[in-house]
């Protein structure tokens, strides 16, 4: 069963596809079983930029959704390079972002040339210009990326200090603001549970948002998540994260007036005339982290930076890249290797070394 977040993505996807050529919808249907709704939506945003560019360059004089297949077949290498140039220098996309958009286009064009067939069993396009386009070489080394990341994540004793700050010390910084004090007290257990879970597992924001009560295995200290590509996986988390989560669950139903049919793990306080609690949104979690990070004196912290913080500490304790790759859900081990280049002097107390109780 699709989560609320996935359902919202599919609604947005359906609307966006109306602005794109028919063969894009066919391609998306082909990919629907293999990719998440969020990934498909990102692909379509990339395609919209590309097809709008074709119209803006007057390569086609009608609406983008009417661009025919034969136009794609006739695009030159120089024209596609011009599009990539516009992405980087006019839209200020980073090289890695340009590569991602190019990858999306390569996948679409490959489908049109090598997978899709007409009634006569012929490919939709004979010539695939995207096959001739090379990806940008990413100039930054792993060391450079790691060094940039290092100042924006939690290292050493900051890891536990930030958790304790959210759990206790933040309240002291807002003593003069009764409204903020009340809001903090209302959500204190929930907020620390969220932060502990990210710091104790490295979950992505989307994975955290979509967690249901039934996804938590309390005996194995693990959570069932749907990773990129709609892959189901059980992700382990630390004992501290479990302790904080159980403290939140003690007050979840009564404090948030949770309907018994609401299985969302993290919920927001009731709002509106009906007064029903609802699943906490991704943006709400982002804003919550931003609030605590700023008060802590490390405003660059974000949900993703907390995930990086977990990965850095895990590597310093466990020093097992394949296991870390699986824990983070990386498709490429090269992405995981970045954490081997980050210095971390705190080798004493990490994620309980992912200690799992014996059954």
Report DSSP state, residue 234.
E
Q: Are 208 and 266 in contact (CB under 8 A)?
A: yes
Q: Count CB atoms within 10 A of the CB of residue 318.
A: 15
Q: How far apart are CA 308 and CA 153, in angstroms?
A: 7
Q: Angle at Cα 205 formed by Cα 321 and Cα 100, nearest 5°?
A: 70
Residues 6+ apart with CB under 8 A from 105: 46, 47, 50, 130
Long-range Cβ contacts of 186-189 (<8 Å, 24+ apart): 186/255, 186/269, 187/269, 187/288, 189/244, 189/247, 189/248, 189/250, 189/251
The phi and psi torsions of 343 (rounded to 5 degrees) equal -80, 135
For 33, 57, 200, 280, the CA distances from 193, given in Å and listed in that order, are: 33, 51, 10, 13
The residues annotated with a catalytic role in the active site are: 204, 228, 304, 307, 330, 339
Q: What is the DSSP letter of 221?
A: T
């Amino acid at each position: 069963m699709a989560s609320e977040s996935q359902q919202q993505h599919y609604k947005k996807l359906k609307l966006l596809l109306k602005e794109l050529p028919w063969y894009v919808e066919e391609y998306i249907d082909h990919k629907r079983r293999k990719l998440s709704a969020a990934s498909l939506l990102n692909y379509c945003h990339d395609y919209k930029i590309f097809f709008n560019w074709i119209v803006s360059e007057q390569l086609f004089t009608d609406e983008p959704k009417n661009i025919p297949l034969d136009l794609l077949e006739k695009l030159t290498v120089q024209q596609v390079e011009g599009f990539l140039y516009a992405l980087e220098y006019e839209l200020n996309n980073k090289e890695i972002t340009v590569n991602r958009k190019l990858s999306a286009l390569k996948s679409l064009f490959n489908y049109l040339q090598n997978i899709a067939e007409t009634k006569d069993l012929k490919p939709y396009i004979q010539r695939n210009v995207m096959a001739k386009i090379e990806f940008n070489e990413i100039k930054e080394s792993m060391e450079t990326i790691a060094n940039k990341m290092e100042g924006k994540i939690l290292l050493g004793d900051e890891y536990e200090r930030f958790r304790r700050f959210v759990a206790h010390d933040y309240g002291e910084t807002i003593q003069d603001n009764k409204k903020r004090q009340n809001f903090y007290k209302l959500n204190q257990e929930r907020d620390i549970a969220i932060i502990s879970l990210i710091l104790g597992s490295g979950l992505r924001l989307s994975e955290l948002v979509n967690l249901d009560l039934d996804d938590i295995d309390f005996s194995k200290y693990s959570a069932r998540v749907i990773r990129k590509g709609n892959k189901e996986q059980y992700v382990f988390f630390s004992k501290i994260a479990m302790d904080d989560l159980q403290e939140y669950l003690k007050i979840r139903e009564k404090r948030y007036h949770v309907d018994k049919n609401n299985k969302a793990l993290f919920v927001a306080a009731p709002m509106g005339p009906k007064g029903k609690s609802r699943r906490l949104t991704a943006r709400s979690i982002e804003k919550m982290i931003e609030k605590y990070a700023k008060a802590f004196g490390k405003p660059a912290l974000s949900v993703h930076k907390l995930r990086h913080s977990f990965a850095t500490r895990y590597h310093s304790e466990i020093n097992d890249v394949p296991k870390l790759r699986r824990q983070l859900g990386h498709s490429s081990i090269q992405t995981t290797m970045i954490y081997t280049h980050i210095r971390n002097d705190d080798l004493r107390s990490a994620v309980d070394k992912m200690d799992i109780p014996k059954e």
